[in-house]
Chains A and B, each alone.
Chain A
Amino acid sequence: EPEVTQTPSHQVTQMGQEVILRCVPISNHLYFYWYRQILGQKVEFLVSFYNNEISEKSEIFDDQFSVERPDGSNFTLKIRSTKLEDSAMYFCASMGLAGLETQYFGPGTRLLVL
């Protein structure tokens, strides 16, 4: 069964450093998402991406965040200058042609900012 993959599984970084989280969505999917979950809190929507542009973003997704799909397969989330409060589990998800299908989640990247 096709699956969403994410790398790395864990990332430790110093405050102020840039991080790039990578996701490979399911190959024929067209809608892509990033979510995060801070330890002990609920899953939060960050951004949705369709047709090579952001379709929706939350208040969390400020100027420090960016997404791109550089090569038609990878979908990346970049945090330019990490803050302590960026420590969280980051999940990528993808969805097929119709907007009403279920999303398939990747296994997540645990980011720890020191």
Chain B
Amino acid sequence: ILNVEQSPQSLHVQEGDSTNFTCSFPSSNFYALHWYRWETAKSPEALFVMTLNGDEKKKGRISATLNTKEGYSYLYIKGSQPEDSATYLCALTNRDDKIIFGKGTRLHILP
């Protein structure tokens, strides 16, 4: 059974600090890895899609890396701000066109 694991489940970070969290996935049959940012009462917002081993993507203070050989991706947030508080979801697309979501990491930025 394909499973995407995210850790930690929940994270409290002081405003201004940098943080990162992990998405682990089975590396066989890999096609693409997606990161989404999901604020309460809104729909998931796409951050990145990555396909190649060693890929790094950056969007403002947020960046992500991908290791398809060992099956993990890191999401980094530099200098956390209150507006970064959200749930960060990762999702795996495999070659069968199935998309599997992790449970998310809920990030709380403390003032």
Is residue B66 contacting chain A, with contact meaning CB distance below 8 A? no
B98 near A107: Cβ-Cβ < 8 Å = no
- Distance in Å: Cβ of A46 to nearest Cβ of chain B: 10
- Distance in Å: Cβ of A108 to nearest Cβ of chain B: 6
Q: Which of A4, A42, A43, A55 contacts B97 (CB 8 A)?
A: A55
- Distance in Å: Cβ of B15 to nearest Cβ of chain A: 28
Q: Cβ of A58: which chain B residues have Cβ within 8 Å of it? A: 98
A13 to B16, CA, bound (A): 46
Q: Which of B32, B36, B47, B99 contacts A100 (CB 8 A)?
A: B32
A43 near B98: Cβ-Cβ < 8 Å = no
Is residue B49 contacting chain A, with contact meaning CB distance below 8 A? yes
Interface size class of B (residues with CB under 8 A): 20 to 34
Q: Cβ of B91: which chain A residues have Cβ within 8 Å of it? A: 43
User: Contacts A42-B103, A43-B89 known; A102 to B46 CB distance under 8 Å?
Assistant: yes
A105 to B46, CA, bound (A): 8
Q: Cβ of A85: which chain B residues have Cβ within 8 Å of it? A: none
Interface size class of A (residues with CB under 8 A): 20 to 34
Q: Cβ of A103: which chain B residues have Cβ within 8 Å of it? A: 34, 46
B6: nearest residue on chain A (CB-CB)? A42
Is residue B76 contacting chain A, with contact meaning CB distance below 8 A? no
Residues of B within 8 A of A (CB): 32, 34, 36, 42-49, 51, 89, 91, 93, 96-104
Residues of A within 8 A of B (CB): 4, 33, 35, 42-45, 48, 55-56, 58, 91, 99-108
Q: List 11 A-B contacts (CB under 8 A).
A: A45-B98, A45-B100, A48-B97, A91-B44, A99-B97, A102-B34, A102-B48, A102-B49, A105-B43, A106-B43, A107-B43
Known: A45-B98, A58-B98, A106-B43; 18 extra A-B contacts, CB below 8 A, are: A33-B99, A42-B102, A43-B89, A44-B101, A45-B101, A48-B99, A55-B97, A99-B32, A99-B97, A100-B49, A100-B51, A101-B49, A102-B34, A103-B46, A104-B46, A105-B46, A107-B43, A108-B43
